[in-house]
Amino acid sequence: ALTAVLCGEAVERVTGRGTGIDDAGWQRKVRAIKQALTVNRPDPADPLDTLAKVGGFEIAGLAGVLLGAVARRIPVLLDGFITGAAALIAARLCPAVRGYLIASHRSVEPGHQAILRDLGLRPLLDLQMRLGEGTGAVLAMYLVEASLRIVREMTTFPAAGVTDTGV
């Protein structure tokens, strides 16, 4: 619901099958989200209103963690759909958040695609995952750590005494 509101997308376009619900389950899920939006009428221009009306405590907590990290100038490696939804809230509250976000992977959940587009993020991995549990972030963390080591420790050609031989 939160992603549909903040990304301005139709509920059907951002609602996925999670861990593999069937067509009937997906249709019930879409109806429930639409009903929540109709009953609660979240304001797309007000991220706190949207969060209060159709978000959850886990998303609110994660949004707070993101804001706290950015206040301390700490980059954040996002996992999937839920952390992305929290990032939408945090970025609406504090646009500087966007500059600290790293998308670990692209989930197969369609709502995650909308979130990545909205935040202007390109994920490090695309492994067709929807596992949850932070698996995308765990895998991507190795790439982030390796990248940092390369930047910090790799010797440059001049420092290593490599010269242009003209070949």
pLDDT by residue (tens digit) across 128-144?
766 667 788 888 888 98
Q: Locate the domains of the chain by residue range.
A: 2-152
Query: Average model confidence (pLDDT) for the chain?
Result: 92
pLDDT by residue (tens digit) across 5-48?
999 999 999 999 877 899 999 999 999 999 999 999 999 999 99
Predicted local confidence at residue 70, as pLDDT? 98
* Long-range pairs, 153-162, Cβ under 8 A, ≥24: none
Predicted local confidence at residue 98, as pLDDT? 97
C-alpha to C-alpha distance for 82 and 80, rounded to whole angstroms: 6
Cα distances (angstroms) measured from residue 20 to each of 73, 116, 119: 38, 22, 26
Q: How confident is the model at residue 92 (pLDDT cuts 50, 70, 90)?
A: very high
Half-sphere exposure of 154 (CA within 13 A, CB side): 8
* Higher local confidence (pLDDT), 107 or 29: 29
pLDDT by residue (tens digit) across 51-87?
999 999 999 999 999 999 999 999 999 998 999 999 9
Cα distances (angstroms) measured from residue 92 to each of 6, 49, 88, 138: 9, 12, 6, 26
Predicted local confidence at residue 131, as pLDDT? 66
Residues with catalytic function: 133
Predicted local confidence at residue 137, as pLDDT? 84
Helical residues (DSSP H) of 8-156, grouped into ranges: 11-14, 23-40, 47-54, 57-71, 81-93, 110-119, 135-153
Predicted local confidence at residue 27, as pLDDT? 97
Q: Is the pLDDT of residue 165 over 80?
A: no
- CB-CB contact of 118 with 9 (8 Å): no
- 2-152 — its CATH code? 3.40.50.10210
